């Protein structure tokens, strides 16, 4: 019963619509380019957690800004400053390689090295876990203030999104290490500290041959709402000024990995997620394993060839054929003899095999005197060729004797 139920559910007309439904639901639930959760720090977003205000600040101050809506590939401008701010779609290792090659030729990159990201592994620093305790600037090398501990606490706010909650730390070399070694060539541009006076690096620069990378631990100060109410705008301008002495470098904001790429569509977004993320590759492997399992246990579209069976004649069919043969030649005496031999074989009564059939019946008569009439019927049929009626009577006598011998 269980196998029949399983076979019913594993039929192609059930499996194929189920797979199609899963793909349809995946496509529907996969966010479109305009609906990606990557609005955080996107220069296209005017929401409180977007960064459209950041781009407007740079435009107002004379920088030439643009957005990149294609992956990092090919020859990139070595004079540009690239912003990759906490993107929801992580760049692939090949994209990070292309970006850093452009930096080595003279470009600059401002990034947020999330824990476990490719860019964090490549530059040697990463953001720490989010701290529940707010941190405040200590060094004012970027802000130009004499006492940032007093003045910036009011500027950045004491709680929530207007404070620093993460700092930079070395990227571990192996998974067994909790914290990695701090890069010797890293230059801290801004320190932060907690109320307990623990000091950490918040923004650092790392030279890469002719260019450099600016790593920001907590980019909250670049949000629209924070820029309007704090000194975040001053800090953002000082960061660009520190890596662009001429003020003429074009600023390129990565919007492709915010989900606004030219090729972004439900199919491309799902494909990128399945190929470029760990959980996506796990889903692909599970899907392949499931398909192989269905191919193995599923109902085959072509019916299997029936197994060849060797039909054997039943005992009753053999008896019927033998009786018809005896009847055809009139071998009634032989039939009676066969019946008597059958009783002798099943009930020998200690008689020796050399006894004749008549002698066996005589011994049987002595043993069972109550069946003398049946035994005489058999004895007479052995001596004279019985008619058809005699053969029927002999059969009834055999049945009566057999029953009594058994009981």
Answer with the one of 264, 284, 304 that is the final residue of a domain: 264
Tell whether 321 and 391 lie within a shared domain: yes
Answer with the one of 238, 264, 290 that is the final residue of a domain: 264
Give domain status of residue 19, yes or no: no
Tell whether 254 and 323 lie within a shared domain: no
| Total number of domains in the chain | 2
Whether the CB-CB separation of 50 and 42 falls below 8 Å is answered with yes
CATH number, position 65 = 3.40.50
Answer with the one of 247, 264, 281 that is the final residue of a domain: 264
Give the mean model confidence (pLDDT) for residues 38-44. Answer: 75
pLDDT at 266: 64
Give domain status of residue 86, yes or no: yes
Could you count the other beta carbons within 10 Å of the beta carbon of residue 199?
A: 14
Give domain status of residue 214, yes or no: yes
Tell whether 217 and 148 lie within a shared domain: yes
Residue 150 has pLDDT above 50, yes or no: no
Tell whether 128 and 231 lie within a shared domain: yes
Tell whether 169 and 255 lie within a shared domain: yes
Tell whether 257 and 324 lie within a shared domain: no
Tell whether 254 and 116 lie within a shared domain: yes
Range of the domain at 250: 33-264
Residue 31 has pLDDT above 50, yes or no: no
- Provide the pLDDT confidence category of residue 5 given band limits of 50, 70 and 90: low
Structure tokens at 250: 């074009």
Give domain status of residue 280, yes or no: no
Tell whether 249 and 335 lie within a shared domain: no
- Provide the pLDDT confidence category of residue 317 given band limits of 50, 70 and 90: confident
Tell whether 241 and 333 lie within a shared domain: no
The tens digit of pLDDT for each residue in 46-87 reads 888 889 999 999 999 999 999 999 999 888 999 999 999 988
Residue 224 has pLDDT above 80, yes or no: yes
- Please state, for a pLDDT cut of 90, what percent of the chain lies above it: 22
Tell whether 249 and 327 lie within a shared domain: no
Residue 21 has pLDDT above 80, yes or no: no
Give domain status of residue 18, yes or no: no
- Provide the pLDDT confidence category of residue 351 given band limits of 50, 70 and 90: low
Give domain status of residue 326, yes or no: yes
Give domain status of residue 202, yes or no: yes
pLDDT at 80: 94
Tell whether 79 and 224 lie within a shared domain: yes
Q: Which residue has the tokens 């054929």?
A: 321
Give domain status of residue 25, yes or no: no
Tell whether 38 and 119 lie within a shared domain: yes
């Amino acid at each position: 019963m269980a196998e029949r139920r399983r076979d019913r559910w594993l039929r192609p007309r059930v499996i194929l619509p189920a797979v199609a439904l899963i793909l349809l639901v995946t496509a529907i639930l996969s966010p479109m380019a305009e609906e990606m959760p990557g609005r955080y720090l996107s220069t296209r977003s005017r929401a409180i957690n977007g960064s459209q205000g950041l781009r407007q600040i740079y435009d107002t101050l004379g920088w030439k800004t643009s957005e990149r809506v294609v992956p990092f590939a090919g020859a990139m401008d070595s004079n540009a400053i690239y912003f990759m701010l906490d993107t929801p779609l992580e760049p692939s290792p090949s994209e990070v390689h292309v970006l850093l090659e452009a930096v080595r030729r003279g470009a600059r990159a401002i990034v947020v090295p999330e824990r476990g990201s490719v860019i964090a592994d490549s530059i040697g620093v990463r953001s720490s876990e989010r701290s529940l305790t707010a941190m405040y600037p200590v060094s004012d090398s970027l802000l130009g203030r004499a006492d940032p501990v007093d003045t910036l606490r009011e500027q950045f706010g004491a709680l929530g999104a207007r404070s620093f909650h993460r700092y930079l730390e070395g990227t571990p070399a192996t998974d067994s290490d909790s914290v990695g070694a701090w890069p010797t060539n890293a230059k801290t541009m801004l320190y932060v500290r907690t109320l307990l006076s623990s000091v950490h690096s918040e923004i650092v620069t790392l030279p890469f041959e002719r260019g450099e990378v600016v790593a920001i631990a907590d980019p909250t100060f670049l949000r629209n709402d924070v820029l309007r109410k704090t000194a975040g705008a001053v800090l953002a301008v000082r960061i660009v000024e520190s890596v662009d002495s001429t003020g003429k470098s074009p600023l390129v904001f990565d919007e492709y990995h915010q989900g606004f790429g030219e090729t972004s569509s439900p199919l491309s977004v799902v494909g990128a997620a399945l190929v470029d993320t760990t959980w996506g590759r796990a889903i692909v492997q599970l899907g392949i394993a499931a398909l192989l399992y269905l191919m193995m246990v599923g109902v085959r579209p072509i019916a299997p060839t029936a197994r060849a069976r060797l039909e054997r004649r039943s005992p009753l069919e053999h008896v019927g054929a033998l009786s018809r043969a005896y009847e055809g030649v009139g071998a009634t005496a032989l039939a009676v003899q066969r019946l008597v031999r059958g009783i002798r074989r099943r009930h020998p009564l200690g008689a020796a095999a050399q006894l004749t059939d008549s002698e066996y019946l005589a011994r049987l008569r002595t043993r069972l005197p109550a069946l003398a009439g049946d035994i005489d019927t058999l004895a007479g049929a052995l001596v004279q060729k019985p008619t058809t009626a005699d053969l029927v009577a002999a059969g009834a006598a055999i049945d009566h004797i057999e029953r009594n011998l058994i009981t």
